[in-house]
Amino acid sequence: MYKRMTYRFRMLKMLLSFSEKCRVHFYLSFVFKIFIALLAFATPLLFSQFIEQVIMSGRFYVMLWIVLGYVAVYLLNAVFSYAVVYCNDKLINHVTLGVKAKILDSYFKREFAEYDTIDSGYMKTRMEDDTVCIEKYFTSQSVDYIISLFTLVVATVLLLFIEWRLALFAVISIPATIVIDYAVAKKEAVVQNASRQNNQKNDRMATFVHAGVAGDKGIEPA
């Protein structure tokens, strides 16, 4: 797990080197997602106040404030979610363009004699399929991963104060879930690698057909 985490953050650091003008969007996305995570705690709090103040105590005038609270949470959640999408799109598009330009630049610097030895399918896969994974490193593999770990620790600590048996169950079940997920991920990696090889073969055939059609010249009679 430690190796996976170090690899994840090493890749993130490398990708951030392509985001000099948009790096601030990464940190803004992180801050906005923290606010969204905090807003998730407001909904059960409002519901508990509805039960205690309105249902149990009969203070129906509090209902107006609870409704306003729900509306405020919804609006803030919508605003922060839009800001996250905007920041991610700006950042991912900028980094993807930089990575593709770097790949093309590495090919253009080669000798002309090496061009015939370049696997067209491999190059097309790197340009179109591999760059799609950039989005995961800026979302689920970095920001969402850190927030999930933080939420896991905070929830476990809160469970210790609420009900220690639930906390004990969480401490036992969560590592077991991680182990099972790791085993499933290893099997999925085999399928994904096979799918990538198939995509590479299809891309090679597509570029071969395109090159053949583009280079075909008809012979006209004299």
Tokens of 221: 């009679």
Average pLDDT over residues 40-69: 82
Biggest CA pair distance of the chain: 101
Rg of the Cα atoms in the chain: 26
Residues 1-22: pLDDT tens digits?
Answer: 667 777 777 777 777 777 777 8
Supply the pLDDT for residue 196.
Answer: 63
160 C-beta neighbours (distance < 10 Å), count: 14
Specify if 163 maps to a domain.
yes
Distance CA 37, CA 204 (A): 44
Whether residue 60 is contained in a domain is answered as: yes
Residue 195, domain extent:
2-208
Residue 43 lies in a domain: yes
Higher pLDDT, 2 or 30: 30
pLDDT greater than 50 at residue 218: no
Number of domains in the chain: 1
φ, ψ (nearest 5 deg) of residue 57: -95, -15
Residue 24 in any domain: the answer is yes
Q: Looking at the whole model, is its pTM more than 0.85?
A: no
Contacts with 202 (C-beta within 8 Å, 6 or more apart), sequence order: 121
- Is 56 inside a domain boundary? yes
- In whole numbers, what is the pLDDT of the chain averaged over residues? 76
Rounded Cα distance between 102 and 112, Å, is 18
Cα–Cα dist 200/203, whole Å: 5
pLDDT at 222 over 80: no
One-letter amino acid at 114 equals E
Q: Counting runs of H as helices and runs of E as strands, what totals does the chain give?
A: 8, 0
What CATH code is carried by the domain that includes residue 93? 1.20.1560.10
Q: DSSP of 9-55, one letter per residue?
A: HHHHHHHHTT-TTTHHHHHHHHHHHHHHHHHTTHHHHHHHHIIIIII
Task: Report yes or no on 216 lying in a domain.
Answer: no
Q: Does residue 221 fall inside a structural domain? A: no
